[in-house]
Amino acid sequence: MLPVIRLGPVVLQLPGLVLLAGLWFAISAMEKEAKRLKLDAEAIIKILAYAGAAGLVSARLVFAARRSEIYLANPLGLLALDAGTLDLAGGILVGAVVAFILGRRHLLPLRSTLDALAPGLAVLAISVGGAHLLSGEAYGNPTALPWGIDLWGARRLPTQVFEIAAAAAVFAAWGVSARRLSMPGAAFLLWLTLQAAAVILIAAFRADVAIWAAGVRATQVVALALASAGLVFAFQWRRADAGKAGGSRRVSGSSSPRTHQRS
Amino acid sequence: MVVLVLGSAWTLASRDADPAPTSVGAPPSPRQGFSAPEFSLEALDGSVVTLSELRGQPVVVNLWASWCLPCQKEMPAFERAYEDYKDTGLLILGVNLTAQDSEAAARAFVAEHGLTFPILLDRDGKAARAYQVMGLPSTYFVDRDGIIQSVVVGGPLSEASIRSRIEDLLTGS
């Protein structure tokens, strides 16, 4: 664990730097995949940048709105470099809405665009594990096993290492399988399902996850919900594609009656 | 479908039989959700302050040194927050890392910034070790039960950030 390094008067947050590096590699991977899928990679990167900026600003504004008295008295606090004063849910929601709207405006096909994002998300998941390892977040249950690590006053399971290994395995498995999938959107759903499976598996060994009713871990329930949503989308998209294919066969059949007469 | 079936089974099989937070009963540790590590230090006025004796009131522990630039920048915001919140029972403890500073420099710093909250002297570096200080300033927001609710390493913290975290301590959110 090495959450910060001090360079003179400056304290550098290493987990943040690892996340930034991960973001850079993720954007490179997304750009490469977008080009392979013959999508407008430049537009996608631009949309991600706008969505990220909108999300960041909104995260701070939503946080400040919930404490309006404090921020009205100290408006410069809006500009503070403090990740602890961000409303993550508000930021993610606004960022996603902005990305969706801009994607529509640029006429980007949703499903193929999601496919282009998948390898980047897989890379980002690896860097999140690295950030957790440095900060000591997402720590494991106490253990007496020899591969335990000393953290927060106890010998614990190295769940951050599990997280990195699982995310790397997901990335590798996605790389092997995704290009065999022909349905637009399937590569993204494959990543979503594999990553959800990794989270469900590892969350059982973590000591910091919220516990819901009957002792069920919140992280596992959320991952199950995402995997379920992925399954629903997979069925819907397959049905939509089958409908289109059937429709086009009917159209081509009616427009060329001679073919049918011959057969 | 396989992931859903196996994932649901694993989720149920790995349920936590004891839903109490895992940090309860764990050794004190300088991180969110754990008991704040204990210290007993002499203040500039000669009194001795023991953290565990402050249970029942929210406490902000700020570790600083006079030569630390971000510490110098954020201290006035802590003083203003202390002035506004001290009637609610909030206590701010400024722990000077005297082992890396000097008592004279700490006194001069306190006089220069007009600090009125207790300033404690960590002469042997025991508190710094207990809090695993890796950078200055380091600030810990400790609730009435002695549990750390928020940790900020580095600074300077904005006044709005300090007040937001204090509000969270006071409301228990």
Q: Which A residues 68-127 touch B at CB under 8 Å?
A: 70-71, 74, 76-80, 82, 84-85
Supply the CATH number for residue B163's domain.
3.40.30.10
For residue range A195-230, list pLDDT tens digits in order: 999 999 999 999 888 888 888 899 999 999 999 999
Residue contact A215–B15, C-beta within 8 A:
yes
CB pairs under 8 A between A and B: 128
Exposed/middle/buried for B53, CB within 10 Å: 0-12, 13-18, 19+?
A: exposed
For residue range B64-122, list pLDDT tens digits in order: 999 999 999 999 999 999 999 999 999 999 999 999 999 999 999 999 999 999 999 99
Amino acid at B108: A
Residue B5 at interface with chain A, using a CB cutoff of 8 Å: no
In eight-state DSSP terms, residue B35 is B
CA distance A57 to A53: 6
Residue A169 at interface with chain B, using a CB cutoff of 8 Å: no
Residue contact A200–B7, C-beta within 8 A:
yes
Residue B88's domain comprises 34-171
CA angle A73, A76, A78 (to 5 degrees): 100
* Residue B126 domain-assigned (yes or no): yes
CA distance A211 to chain B (A): 6
Residue B9 at interface with chain A, using a CB cutoff of 8 Å: no
User: Taking Cα atoms as reference points, which of B163, B145, B167 lies closest to residue B34?
Assistant: B145
* Residue B4 domain-assigned (yes or no): no
Whether the per-residue pLDDT at A28 is higher than 90: the answer is yes
Q: Which B residues 152-171 touch A at CB under 8 Å?
A: 152-155, 157-161, 163-165, 167
Residues in chain A: 263
| B33, B70, B160 member nearest A80 (Cβ) | B160
> What's the domain count of chain B?
1
Tokens of A16: 């943040």
CA distance B61 to B130: 13
Q: Are B152 and B68 contacting, i.e. CB atoms less than 8 angstroms apart?
A: no
pLDDT at A249 (0 to 100)? 62
Q: What ipTM did this prediction achieve?
A: 0.79
* Residue B117 domain-assigned (yes or no): yes
pLDDT at B26 (0 to 100)? 64
**The overall pTM is greater than 0.90:** no
